Structure 1
């Protein structure tokens, strides 16, 4: 992918995983949500969500926060059945995620590698002139950022809703960073996200 193209001309896909926990090495994805963007336009018709059957037994309380049942997840497709569709949805597109290290960790387990990645958490910190060491974590959750930026919150702990919120938060941040002269290309966005040198600062 050519990272030097203007960001408004690039294809993006906002992604959210809901999982049984926050450790990609141990926990399991139970829902995938995707929201494609064509430059600065959100493609609602292309938005997609799918439940995922875990590969290992899980505690009911581990997924209760998502309003799921054991029967629902057992009837869902397995990771292996969704890997191809997910890889196709990200091929040639820039991944957009909030706290992207988590999504990248799960994608790595699935054997899927995005062409480039933009993290809305890091964009928000860059816009505010703050770092992960100087910012309050509760001010930079996805829902907190959405409220501050005027993005509607449809509901939490649902992958499609969070992917749509992430996409809209990204658009607000990208426009504001562009207006301040800090973003023009996809490379500018990935650089502010911490991916230029492979370094990635996280809470």
Structure 2
């Protein structure tokens, strides 16, 4: 399947830390896209109630505390809606291993995955071990490609930025003859395994 005809969903989790085995998701944001268009009207965002207090550093980043999130729905309430949104779509995320880790912890099998971080490195002929990390953050790529940043550390805003950055990267990689299909994108992202079936 050509990437232009596929259905994607850009996903971002805001969490209490970077370890899916230990930390918790406190906000989900996703933006569907297909036919090279972002469908903002179908965007979805939800706060998630944590099960335990979290570190002060997370409060500083998100401006939230466990106490303020006590009215938010629990994971069990958010999970079914998220799983429905991912069904039949290709996942797009920046540093996707984090989102995939939290999905697995929630008992959701990650769909075929495209990582905008890895696509940017591929476009520049860079590898993770030697690339300047600050040049490949989501906000750095947004600035580079002229994508407006509405606010960082908000899951919906970051999902929207990720969707826009993805479209730029996919077009640039196609111009270079490196991308035509969804399988090309997942392969460059490091997720080119045997699960692609419908999306090749």
TM-score of Structure 1 vs Structure 2, range by shorter chain: over 0.9
Output the CA distance in 1 between the equivalents of 2:56 and 2:133: 28
Which residues of 2 match residues 1-203 of structure 1 at below 5 A? 5-197=1-193
8 Å contact from structure 1 (residues 11, 37) kept in 2: yes
Paired residues of 2:26 and 2:49 also in contact (CA < 8 A): yes
Superposed structure 1 runs of 4+ greater than 2 Å apart: 56-64, 69-72
Partner residue of 2:197?
A: none
Per-residue deviation, residues 87-124 of structure 1 (Å, max 9, x unmatched):
00000100000000011111110011232000000000
Q: Deviations over 1:38-65 (max 9, x none)?
A: 1311001011111000122324543332
- Seen in structure 2, the aligned counterparts of structure 1 residues 61 and 131 have a Cα distance that, compared at 3 Å, is closer
CA RMSD in angstroms, aligned pairs only: 1.3
- Report deviation, 1:133: 1.4
**CA–CA distance in structure 1, aligned partners of residues 173 and 32 of structure 2:** 21
After TM superposition, the score normalised by the length of structure 1 is: 0.92
SS, match of residue 50 in structure 1: strand
Distance, in Å, in 2 between the alignment partners of 1:121 and 1:87 is: 23
Q: 3-state DSSP class of the match of 2:11? A: strand
Match of 1:201 in 2: none
Tell which deviates more after alignment, 166-175 or 68-77. Answer: 68-77
Q: How many residues align?
A: 194
CA contact (8 A) 1:91 1:114 kept: no
